């Protein structure tokens, strides 16, 4: 476990809560979040209470799905115990403890079927098969994720950029850019198969 969950959740609320009274004084950074949130097309009305204090607290009515500017529609929050109960030990090791599967062993490394790759933790769609390419690296590679589905964080050593599911924070792998792959983005989302659950396209 690395990042304190409370920070992510606070950020999620800031980006996702519908604000109906913007006259309350707030720091400039929060104001930008408000503006971004107001611009999001997917916002839906919700009842909320805004408490202005040094930590800027928002309380959204429970049960209202969160929508955020460019973020995941729904945030999935579970305790470590809950994750352990629903994930296999290998899924837990990789998704929740940021492990890595042994190269060349993953179920989807060579999968060329049409469909969608969802998060193995929470089921959120992450990648379309049309963005998958053979990187030869030993892990499934995608040149882009579905819009807003993937979060990026620089590793502690500052060298690699970690990718996580924007909905549940599950560890997917890393993204590398500018390696010279002949794809539309020249980005390589290097993803553990264990972090993914493939749904084949409906052939009808």
For the chain, state the CA radius of gyration: 18
8 binds ligand NAG (CB under 6 A): yes
Provide DSSP, 1-34. --S-HHHHHHHHHHHHS--S---S---HHHHHHH
Q: What is the C-alpha to C-alpha distance for residues 16 and 134, in angstroms, rounded to an integer? A: 36
Residue with smaller CB distance to ligand NAG, 23 or 202: 23
121 binds ligand NAG (CB under 6 A): no
Give the contact letters, 131-150, x = binds to ligand NAG (CB under 6 A), - = no: --------------------
CB of 29 to ligand NAG, least distance (A): 12
119 binds ligand NAG (CB under 6 A): no
Q: Which residues contact 176 (CB under 8 A, 6 or more apart)?
A: 160, 161, 187, 188, 190
Q: Using alpha carbons only, give the angle 188, 196, 6 rounded to the nearest 5 degrees.
A: 90
Q: What is the C-alpha to C-alpha distance for residues 180 and 140, in angstroms, rounded to an integer? A: 17
Q: What residues numbered 151-170 form the site for ligand NAG, per CB under 6 A?
A: 151, 166, 169
Contact pick of 2, 24, 31, 47 for ligand NAG (by CB under 6 A): 24
Q: Which residues belong to the active site?
A: 190
Residue ranges in contact with ligand NAG by CB under 6 A: 8, 11-12, 15, 21, 23-24, 68, 71, 151, 166, 169
């Amino acid at each position: 476990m690395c990042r304190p969950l409370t920070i992510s959740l606070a950020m999620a609320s800031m980006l996702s809560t519908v604000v109906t009274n913007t006259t309350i004084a707030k720091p400039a950074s929060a104001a930008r979040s408000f503006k971004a949130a107001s611009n999001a097309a997917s916002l839906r009305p919700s009842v909320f209470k805004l408490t202005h204090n040094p930590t800027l607290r928002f309380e959204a009515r429970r049960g209202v799905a969160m929508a955020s500017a460019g973020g995941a529609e729904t945030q999935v929050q579970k305790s470590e115990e809950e994750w352990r109960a629903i994930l296999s030990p290998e899924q837990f090791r990789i998704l929740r403890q940021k492990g890595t599967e042994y190269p060349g062993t993953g179920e989807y490394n060579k999968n060329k079927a049409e469909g969608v790759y969802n998060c193995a933790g929470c089921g959120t769609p992450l990648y379309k098969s049309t963005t998958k390419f053979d990187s030869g690296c030993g892990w499934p590679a995608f040149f882009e994720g579905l819009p807003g589905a993937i979060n990026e964080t620089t590793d502690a050593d500052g060298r690699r950029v970690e990718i996580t599911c924007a909905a549940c924070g599950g560890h997917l792998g890393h993204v590398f850019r500018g390696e010279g792959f002949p794809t539309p983005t020249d980005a390589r989302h290097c993803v553990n198969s264990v972090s993914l659950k493939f749904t084949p396209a409906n052939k009808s």
